[in-house]
Structure 1
Amino acid sequence: MVKLSARVTELEAEVQECRQLNLRLAELTDVVQELLLPVARRDEARITEVMERYTKNLG
């Protein structure tokens, strides 16, 4: 029973790690989407704004 409990705890930690990675991937995908149009329009101010916001959210 102790082994089962330890395994469940281990799996819960792995699930949490996957959730965090999925959230990070979603955030990165949002940044890429936000950058596509400004880059196509060569909107340097918007590109800088998006990148600054993303960098700020990293910390």
Structure 2
Amino acid sequence: MAKADKDEQLTGSRYLLAGTFRRMVGLKQLEQRIATLEEELHNYQTTHVRLAEVIDLVQELLVPMAQQDTAKVDELVRRFSDELGADER
């Protein structure tokens, strides 16, 4: 094999290794981005559940407040506060 052919093979091998390395780095970045997105999704889901709970409470409170049923309003607020306290533990 001529020296020029051998040099071309080394250059070609280096080129392939460089491409492989770039793909590996790109793959690692994608894996990190996916992990970040999964964490953000979990946070959004938690926020969504809490918002749904607040909306439910508001809906439950509308009728008793309109009827000026303070006992029912107090009971609903207490229950909701207890649920929030249990979620934070």
TM range, normalised to the smaller chain? over 0.9
Percent same amino acid among aligned pairs? 39
Matched, 1:45 2:45: no
Q: 2: CA distance between counterparts of 1:22 and 1:5?
A: 25
Of the two structures, which has the highest relative contact order with CA contacts closer than 8 Å and spacing of 6 or more? 1
Question: Which structure 2 segments of 5+ residues have no match?
Answer: 1-26
Aligned with 1:16: secondary structure? helix
How many aligned residue pairs are there?
59
Matched, 1:21 2:47: yes
TM-score in terms of structure 2 length: 0.65
Matched, 1:33 2:59: yes
RMSD: 0.5
Query: Structure 1: which 4+ aligned runs deviate by more than 4 Å?
Result: none
User: Greater Rg, structure 1 or structure 2?
Assistant: 2
Question: Which structure 1 segments of 5+ residues have no match?
Answer: none
